[in-house]
Amino acid sequence: MTATTPTPPPATDAAPSAPAADAATLHTPVNAWFAAHARDLPWRRPEAGPWGVMVSEFMLQQTPVSRVLPVYEQWLKRWPRPADLAAEPPGEAVRAWGRLGYPRRALRLHAAATAITERHGGEVPDDHAALLALPGVGEYTAAAVASFAYGRRHAVLDTNVRRVLARVVTGVQYPPNATTAAERRLAQRLLPDDEATAARWAAATMELGALVCTARTPDCGRCPVAARCAWRLAGFPAHDGPPRRGQTYAGTDRQVRGMLLAVLREATGPVTQEQMDAVWDEPVQRARALDGLVADGLVEPVAQGVYRLPLE
DNA sequence: CAGCCGTGGGA
DNA sequence: TTCCCAAGGCT
């Protein structure tokens, strides 16, 4: 991992035994920084409501903000409430998902909207357990919706927060590949006692990781807690552990699935086998990819050699 | 728990 | 150009 050495602010003289970063010294500067520098994102505006927050969280799972923005706007305009989405076939959600990637998320969001409509009176639940029970909602998303939409006090551990805590508190460049119990304990320990402050802290630490304490080239000169950052104080030691997994894409089933589904999305009606076959010349892999899409519920066979996006 | 599931843009 | 990686979840 070639880690571009961050640009540290001129190392202040400060005592050799620099103050360790702890909860009390982090909340105020980080939350103040957020108040001054937070992006004006549509799902952060009051009119977004819990449903808007939930939609954004689904879309933002592994997809950058810039690509989510236009799709989010269209989505909320078309389906302003969960019941509006639930009233349409899941295939419409897949089509509207466009090229955000991981289209199973569209299916899960549709399923979540259906569950919300049927089990929660059409209102996005406000408690963590009920959220966690929804399709496509895991630990992170449940905490994020409860915190961002309802101001609840939850440790929100996403990739940004994990990286910030790894650096500022633990003193390492990157967090482990998988979230550990130690990270959860740390996040819990750092959580402000006050509910509103905790909710702000969750959003602030995420934003800090997204804008300043980035994966490749952190900009310590703009960091509100650089003076107490354990990683910086340690001299930016490079990541040791195993290399962080890099995923190849070209030539994989995922690529073929993507190409097949693109044909369905862009077609207005059912598509023939011949149209599907045109996207990939290797028949075994092509068949495997299509079978996978059908198994996942992303594609529905309507007749021998005819397919469409799912109506059910 | 490791592997799988899309896509595009920036360095 | 290649490589990295971006607000995860599910099996």
pLDDT at A115: 98
- Superfamily grouping for domain A42-150: Hypothetical protein; domain 2 (1.10.340.30)
Q: What is the CATH number of domain A253-308?
A: 1.10.10
Contact flag, residue A37 CB and nucleic strand B, below 7 A:
no
pLDDT at A248: 72
pLDDT at A245: 65
| Nucleotide in closest CA–C1' contact with A61 | C8
pLDDT tens digit string along A151-190? Answer: 999 999 999 999 999 999 999 999 999 999 999 999 999 9
Contact flag, residue A142 CB and nucleic strand C, below 7 A:
yes
Q: How far is Cα A200 from Cα A148, in angstroms, rounded to an integer?
A: 8
Nucleotides of B strand lying within 7 Å of any protein CB atom: 1-9, 11
Contact flag, residue A249 CB and nucleic strand B, below 7 A:
yes
| Nucleotide in closest CA–C1' contact with A207 | C7
Contact flag, residue A138 CB and nucleic strand C, below 7 A:
yes
A 10 A CB-CB count for A82 gives 26
Q: How far is Cα A297 from Cα A107, in angstroms, rounded to an integer?
A: 8
Which two structure tokens, joined as six digits, stand for A15? Answer: 């005592």
pLDDT tens digit string along A7-33? Answer: 443 334 333 445 667 878 999 999 999
Q: How far is Cα A92 from Cα A106, in angstroms, rounded to an integer?
A: 9
pLDDT tens digit string along A94-119? Answer: 999 999 999 999 999 999 999 999 99
Nucleotides of C strand lying within 7 Å of any protein CB atom: 3-10
Å from the A77 CA to the B6 C1'? 24
Contact flag, residue A197 CB and nucleic strand B, below 7 A:
no
Cα radius of gyration rounded to whole Å, chain A: 22
Residue (of A16, A59, A66) closest to A211 by Cα position? A66
Each of the 312 residues of chain A gets a pLDDT tens digit; together they read: 334 444 443 334 333 445 667 878 999 999 999 999 999 999 999 999 999 999 999 999 999 999 999 999 999 999 999 999 999 999 999 999 999 999 999 999 999 999 999 999 999 999 999 999 999 999 999 999 999 999 999 999 999 999 999 999 999 999 999 999 999 999 999 999 999 999 999 999 999 999 999 999 999 999 999 999 999 999 999 998 777 766 677 789 999 999 999 999 999 999 999 999 999 999 999 999 999 999 999 999 999 999 999 998
Q: How far is Cα A155 from Cα A153, in angstroms, rounded to an integer?
A: 7
| Nucleotide in closest CA–C1' contact with A63 | C6
pLDDT at A78: 98
Contact flag, residue A16 CB and nucleic strand C, below 7 A:
no
State whether residue A167 is helix, strand or coil. Answer: helix
Residue (of A249, A256, A252) closest to A276 by Cα position? A256
Residue nearest the C1' of C8 (CA based): A61
Helix then strand count (H, E) for chain A reads 15, 3
| CB of A84 closer than 8 Å to CB of A75 | no
| Nucleotide in closest CA–C1' contact with A112 | C9
Q: Backbone phi, then psi, for A252, in 5-degree steps?
A: -90, 165
Å from the A217 CA to the B4 C1'? 29
Please, what is the angle between helix A283-296 and helix A253-266, to 10°? 70
Q: What is the CATH number of domain A155-233?
A: 1.10.1670.10
The domain segmentation of chain A, as residue ranges, is 42-150, 155-233, 253-308
Output the CA torsion sign for A36, A61, A258, A262.
negative
pLDDT at A247: 65
| Residues in a beta bridge with A303 | A306
pLDDT at A5: 45
Contact flag, residue A254 CB and nucleic strand B, below 7 A:
yes
pLDDT at A305: 95
Q: Output the average pLDDT for chain A.
A: 93
The residues, ordered by sequence, that sit 6+ positions from A278 with a Cβ below 8 Å of its Cβ are none
Active site residues of A: 57
Å from the A178 CA to the B1 C1'? 9
Q: Give the amino acid at A164.
A: V
Contact flag, residue A62 CB and nucleic strand B, below 7 A:
yes
